[in-house]
Copies of this chain bind each other. A is one copy, B any other.
Amino acid sequence: MADYRAPLEDMRFVRDEVFHAEQEWQAMPSTAELNAELADAILEEAGRLVEAELFPLNQRGDAEGCLFEGGKVRTPAGFREAFLELARGGWCGLGGNPDHGGQGLPKLLTQAFDEMLYASNASFALYLALNNGAGLLLDAYADEATKALYLPRLYAGEWLGTMCLTEPHCGTDLGLIKTRAVPDGSGGYAITGSKIWITGGEHDLTENIVHLVLAKLPDAPAGAKGISLFLVPKRRVHEDGSLGEPNGVVCGGLEHKMGIKGSATCVMHFDEARGILIGEPHQGLATMFTMMNYERLSIGLQGLGLGDVAYQGAMAFARERRQSRAPGGAAEPDQAADPILVHPDVRRMALDARAWNEGGRLFAAFVASELDRAKYHPDVEVRDASADLVALLTPVAKAFLTDRGFAATVEAQQLYGGNGYCVEWGAEQYVRDARIAMIYEGTNGIQAMDLVGRKLTRNRGAYVKRLVERVREDLGGGDDIEPALRPFQEAAMRELERLERVSATLIEAAGKEPAAAGAAAHDYLHLLGHALYAWMWFKAARAANRGLSGNGPAGKDFYQAKLVVGRHFLERQLPRSESLERQIAAGPEGLMALDRHLF
C-alpha cells in the first residue's frame, strides 16, 4: 500500500538551481568531468533500482528480521540477491578512490543516492553505509599494500566493512574499552575482546567482512588517548586477496530491536583474531573519526530519507481517504465526503513533514558540497575553510536531520489516523526505523556536546563567525531584493543575529561555569539548525523565484509549491527558535539543582 518514488525533481532543483553543482564540479579538477546530465543519468538509474529492488523488500524485511543460527546470520529474504545486483552495478564504490577502483563521485551526488537507499530500505542501506565509511578510513590511513588489497574489494561489494567501537560497559565513553591488541611478533596483532551493536558484524551478503576495531595496546596510556585502530577480517586474507582460514571472530548473537530489523546488529567476540594496525598507535580514536564523521552525515540522511518516504506514504493515503467536509462547505459535493487534504490540520501535518524534509535536503546538499570542496578544491584556503565548516556542521547534520526526520515520520503516521498504527500501511515502521538515527553514531546529546564543546567554545566561536560571514554575504542587502524574497531574507537575517547573540553569551558563560555548555547544548544545536534552515529556505526561495520568472526547468507548479512550503517553514516552524533562545538563557543552575538521589 505504501509507495516510494525517488524525489529526483527536488534533488535536481537543490543540486542545480540552488547549489549550482556543475559550476562547483568544473572548478575542481577531480570532478571536472562530471556534469548535470551525467549526474541525472546516475540518479535516475539509482531511483529505478531502489524503487524496484529495495523498497519492495522493506516491509517484508521488517517482518522477517535477521535470523541468528549456529553463529551465522541470515538477512531477510531478497536482501542477498538485491545486494549482489547493487554490487555488480558498481553502487558500492560510487564515492571511492579511483586509484583503487572507486568511481570518485562527489558527495553532492552520492548523498542523493544515500538518501534514496535509506528511504527505500533503511535496514539494507546500513550495510552499504558502513562499508563506505570503512573505505574512506582505509583510503585515508592504511598503507598502500593494505589499500591495494582491501579497497577494490570493498568498492566492488565483494567484502563489506564494519565499525567496532562499543562494548557492553561503554559507548559514549570509549576511553573505558577493554578490548586488547597484543603484537604477534610478525607485524600483526592478536585482538581479544567483545564488541556490541556492530551493524553488519555478521551476515550472508559477502564472503568476507572487514572489521575496523578499536582496541588498546599493552603499553597504552589510560583513557581515550590509549586507543588504537585495527583492521580485522572475518577470514584471513592472503596477499593475492584469496581467503584463508577463519580469523577468531565470531558473532555471539543479534540484538532484538525496536526497528531496522533487517539490519544485523551483532554482538562480536574477538579471540586472538589477527589484525593489522591502521594509522598510528594510540591515535585510533582520531583515525576512527574519519569514519565516524562520514557515518554521522550518513545517519542524518537516514532521518531525511525516512521523513520523505513517510511523507510520500501519507500522501498516497490522503489521496484515497475521505472524511468530513471542507471548512467552507463541501469541496466535492457529489461524494459522500471530501478528501482529507481539505482540512487545515491535515495540511499542517503534511506541510510540517514536507518542510522539514525539503529543508533537510537543502541542508544535506550544502554540507555535501562543502565536503567536496574540502576534499577536491584546488585552493588550500578554500579546502581549509570548508573543512572547518564541515566540522561545525557535522553534529548538526547528524542530530538535527534525525530529530526532524523522526518528527516527520511521526507527523506522517498521525495523518493516517488508526491506519497509521497498523503494520500493513508501513507508516509505523518508518517511525521505528527513524528512532535509532537519533541514538546511534553518537546520540544526539553527544552531537550537541561536540558542537558546543569542540566546535563552538573551544575555538571561541571562530567557526560560527565564519559561517555567519558567509551567510550574511549570501543574503545580501535588503534594498534591491524581490518582494517575494523579503520575508525569507528578513527571517534568515533575524536568525543569524540570534545565533551571533546566543553564541557570544554561551561562550562567555562556558568560560565561567563548567555546566553551562552542556546545559545549553541540545537547544543550541536546534537553534543553529533553525538558523541554517532559514538560510537554506532563503536560497531555495531565491532559486524558485528565479525559476518562476525565467521559465526554469522544474516548471511553475514546482516553484510555486516550493515557495508555499518555504512559507510554512517561516510561519510555523521557525518561530520555535525564539523559545530555544529563551531556554538557553535559563542557564545551567536549574538543571543542576536537584540532588542525584532525588531523580
A interface, CB within 8 angstroms of B: 166, 170-173, 176, 196-197, 255-259, 315, 318, 322-324, 326-329, 336-337, 339, 341-351, 354, 410, 413-414, 417-418, 420-424, 428, 431-432, 435-436, 438-440, 443-445, 448-449, 514-515, 517-519, 521-523, 557, 560-561, 564-565, 567-568, 571-572, 575-580, 582-583, 586, 588, 590-596, 598-599
Contact = CB atoms under 8 A, between A and B. Distances in A.
Contacts of A431: 258, 435
Contacts of A337: 170, 173, 176
Contacts of A322: 173
Contact of A166 (B327, B345, B418, B436): B418
In the A-B complex, the 8 residue pairs with the closest CB atoms: A344-B518, A571-B586, A575-B579, A328-B514, A258-B428, A327-B514, A575-B582, A173-B323
A261 to B, nearest CB: 11
Contacts of A449: 345
B172 A417 contact: yes
A291 B60 CA distance: 39
Main secondary structure of the interface of A (DSSP, over half): helix
B575 A583 contact: yes
A349 B445 contact: yes
A315 B326 CA distance: 47
B418 A557 contact: no
Q: How many copies does the complex hold?
A: 2
Contact of A347 (B346, B575, B592): B592
Contacts of A354: 599
Contact of A572 (B324, B438, B590): B590
A347 B172 contact: no
Given A576-B579, A579-B579, A596 B414 contact: no
Contact of A344 (B519, B567, B571, B580): B519
A337 B175 CA distance: 10
A435 B417 contact: no
Nearest to A406: B410
Nearest to A582: B575
Given A417-B439, A568-B590, A568-B591, 16 more contacts: A172-B323, A172-B324, A258-B422, A341-B599, A344-B515, A345-B448, A347-B592, A347-B594, A351-B591, A414-B439, A421-B440, A557-B598, A564-B590, A575-B579, A578-B582, A579-B579
A341 B564 CA distance: 44
Nearest to A311: B599
10 contacts: A172-B323, A173-B337, A348-B591, A414-B443, A431-B435, A557-B598, A567-B590, A568-B591, A571-B590, A575-B583
B345 A258 contact: no
A378 B109 CA distance: 73
Contacts of A590: 564, 567-568, 571-572
A418 to B, nearest CB: 5
A117 B442 CA distance: 35
Nearest to A166: B418
A545 to B, nearest CB: 16
Contact of A171 (B323, B448, B586): B323
Given A423-B257, A579-B576, A591-B344, A171 B417 contact: yes
A514 B595 CA distance: 52
Contact of A418 (B440, B582, B593): B440
A351 B443 CA distance: 18
Residue of A196, A327, A337 with most chain B CB atoms under a 10 A cut-off: A327
A244 B334 CA distance: 46
Contacts of A349: 445
A339 B596 contact: yes
Nearest to A573: B583
A596 B341 contact: yes
Contacts of A572: 523, 583, 586, 590
Given A323-B172, A594-B351, A421 B445 contact: no
B439 A328 contact: no
Given A341-B599, A344-B515, A572-B590, A418 B432 contact: no
Contacts of A255: 422
Residue of A171, A347, A448, A576 with most chain B CB atoms under a 10 A cut-off: A347
Contacts of A577: 579
Given A417-B172, A435-B421, A572-B583, A519 B578 contact: no
A422 B256 contact: yes
A567 B594 CA distance: 11
A565 B564 CA distance: 40
B439 A421 contact: yes
Residue of A259, A346, A431, A593 with most chain B CB atoms under a 10 A cut-off: A593
Contacts of A417: 171-172, 439, 443
Residue of A315, A413, A439 with most chain B CB atoms under a 10 A cut-off: A439
B256 A445 contact: no
Contacts of A171: 323, 417-418
A598 B558 CA distance: 8
A402 B279 CA distance: 51
Contacts of A341: 596, 599
A325 to B, nearest CB: 9
Contacts of A350: 599
A306 B210 CA distance: 42
Contacts of A586: 571-572
